Structure 1
């Protein structure tokens, strides 16, 4: 052991030693760590990627437009004679909660059309 290469506390002060191994116990800062690949690595150099920090849509414009009910009045002049008043149906369009639908459902060829003939 050469005493010129060490100080009085035993620390090595000589020339740098050549080593094939790299020290892998280095401290890596949080900013230097790479968790995810960049857009260039994911999509390639021929693709232009944009990262926008602000919204392109103003705050005054809602994301989902509210439903606006259109009110209209349409009366047919040459309507055939019926047992109901056409104004009743026109007024019924303003309140769809009052409309009731009836369904006759069943398997194929089980007589779903027969009750229709009894109603006529």
Structure 2
């Protein structure tokens, strides 16, 4: 687009365009050079091949029910494709199309938990934000002290829990 042809408001200020009369003259010259319908029919009759059958349009009245506006699914997709047309929704009206995001809220607290060095409400509030929870795995070979290490951690966080004098603390041992 040449900016010299337009003013600051976008109005055309360039040289005059073709007038309507000049456009009509151009159209007349184009149609004068075009072949007539009779010429086209005469050319097509002269060039008809002898083996080709000419189909004539029938003047029969086609009922509205018999008209074919759209191709069938078989014609569009082919015979190897199974197409189903269902008139009713498979999803019930009680189920929304897009499920809302549901945040899980945990309110279960145990009443008879032993006293600890940390606040149990902290753990309950931590369950409201699952992204802040970190899981830890303690793994190792057989008889390498995994249970003893866990018992040491429990002994540090549970001050009221005391081991018996004759046995070791086996809080996490399930046997």
Question: Which is worse superposed, 11-20 or 45-54?
Answer: 11-20
Pair 1:16–1:59, CA change in 2 (3 A): same
Number of matched pairs: 113
Counterpart Cα distance in 2 of 1:73 and 1:2 = 71
Shift of 1:95: 0.7
Q: 2:107–2:124: 8 Å Cα contact kept in structure 1?
A: yes
Counterpart Cα distance in 2 of 1:82 and 1:56 = 53
Shift of 1:64: 5.6
- Greater per-residue helix proportion: 2
Counterpart Cα distance in 1 of 2:72 and 2:23 = 27
Shift of 1:102: 1.8
Question: Which is worse superposed, 3-12 or 59-68?
Answer: 3-12
Deviations 1:1-43 (A, max 9, x none): 99999999999999999999999999x9999999999999999
Question: Which is worse superposed, 77-86 or 96-105?
Answer: 96-105
Give the TM-score taking structure 2 as reference length.
0.28
Shift of 1:72: 4.0
Partner of 2:21: 21
Pair 1:49–1:86, CA change in 2 (3 A): same
Give the TM-score taking structure 1 as reference length.
0.37
Q: Which structure has the higher relative contact order (CA within 8 Å, separation 6+)? A: 2
Shift of 1:69: 2.3
Counterpart Cα distance in 1 of 2:135 and 2:143 = 22
Deviations 1:80-103 (A, max 9, x none): 111211000010001111111122
3-state SS, counterpart of residue 66 of structure 1: coil
Shift of 1:73: 2.4
- RMSD of aligned residue pairs (Cα, Å): 18.6
Unaligned runs of 5+ in 1: 113-117
Q: Which has the larger radius of gyration?
A: 2
Question: Which is worse superposed, 94-103 or 4-13?
Answer: 4-13
Shift of 1:107: 7.3
